[in-house]
Amino acid sequence: MVEILPSQLELLNRTAKAIENPLFRFMEREVTVASSLLDIVKRDLLHLIEMCTGKRKSTNILKKLSDDLNKD
């Protein structure tokens, strides 16, 4: 499941002219937030896989994540 996620998001090229554009600034913020969210999702999925295979102990957070995934 983790393999289908991108390894990282490509950040936008920041130039003096591009920063003047409000749409560029919006997209740059969105890409930055999406990039950190991708890191969190990948980390959580890896922790869940480790918990399911017995390599990591179960925590309340992992139990909640697995319950949320189970409920869809």
pTM of the model: 0.78
Tokens linked to 70: 């189970």
Q: Answer whether residue 6 shows pLDDT above 90.
A: no
pLDDT digits (tens, 9 = 90+) for 12-69: 888 999 999 999 999 999 999 999 999 999 999 999 999 999 999 999 999 999 999 8
* H/E stretch holding 41: helix 22-52
**Structure confidence at residue 4 as a pLDDT band (50, 70, 90):** confident
Distance CA 29, CA 35 (A): 10
Under 8 Å CB-to-CB from 19, ≥6 apart: which residues? 25
- CA–CA separation, 37 vs 47, rounded Å? 15
